[in-house]
Amino acid sequence: MKLSQNAVRVLLIGPKLRLNAELMNTLRGLPVELIFADEAAEAFHFMSSLRPDLAVVDSSLRDASPADFAFAVRGSRRLSEIPVLFADGNFISELDAFIKHKSAEILRRRELADLKSRHLQTLAIIRETADLFHSLVENDTPLAELPENLAEERIEFGMNMLRGLAGILDEEIKNIEELFANESAYFRDLSGDGELQELDMALTM
């Protein structure tokens, strides 16, 4: 079973939860992907393999009490970070609040990943342009000899830099790279689970 990375993954444990009309009506339209398990043993398997964002356990389990199930989850080093919600009292409103909060978190992480990707592209352009400027300065290349594939605005920008700013370019690039390194740590703290690790490493190269 392959789950969406953009939906909140909720494991519903116990046969009665499938038939809870109020629950299903609440979940309809929310950014949620449901996983069903009728027994505790099956639920443990899904929690280990599918890593849901939340487990909701009903009192109708045949092979364990809800309290024993929750205690076993808490005692597992691998599963202890998955929240367990008991299907009693006001659990539907609590579930609704959790899904909306988690969905906002997923959206924020996706936006952070997109932002980081754009930053990487910008940094690549900056480095490419810096190499070009240094090459032009070192070789004293006339304007007529500039590569034809350079956009007109980049040529103009490059000439302006050569006229007065080439001397401080190295310092500017260093400052920008330090900024990106600091952002790398910020992104890593927010992402939490390491999904952005590859981009984090690229930012600090």
Per-residue confidence band for 12, with pLDDT thresholds at 50, 70 and 90: very high
Mean per-residue pLDDT over the chain, rounded? 74
Structure tokens belonging to residue 167: 């001397």
* pTM of the shown model: 0.54
Considering only 35-49, 60-74, 98-112, 166-180, which range has the smallest mean pLDDT? Answer: 166-180
Q: What is the mean predicted confidence (pLDDT) over 31-42? A: 90
Per-residue confidence band for 45, with pLDDT thresholds at 50, 70 and 90: very high
Structure tokens belonging to residue 185: 């740590």
pLDDT value of residue 201: 47
Q: What is the mean predicted confidence (pLDDT) over 100-121? A: 77
Q: What is the mean predicted confidence (pLDDT) over 70-81? A: 88
Domains in the chain (CATH in brackets) are: 8-88 (3.40.50.2300), 108-203 (no CATH)
Long-range contacts of 87-91 (CB under 8 A, 24+ apart): 87/14, 87/16, 87/17, 87/20, 87/56, 87/57, 87/58, 87/59, 88/59, 91/56
Distance CA 177, CA 180 (A): 5
pLDDT value of residue 203: 42
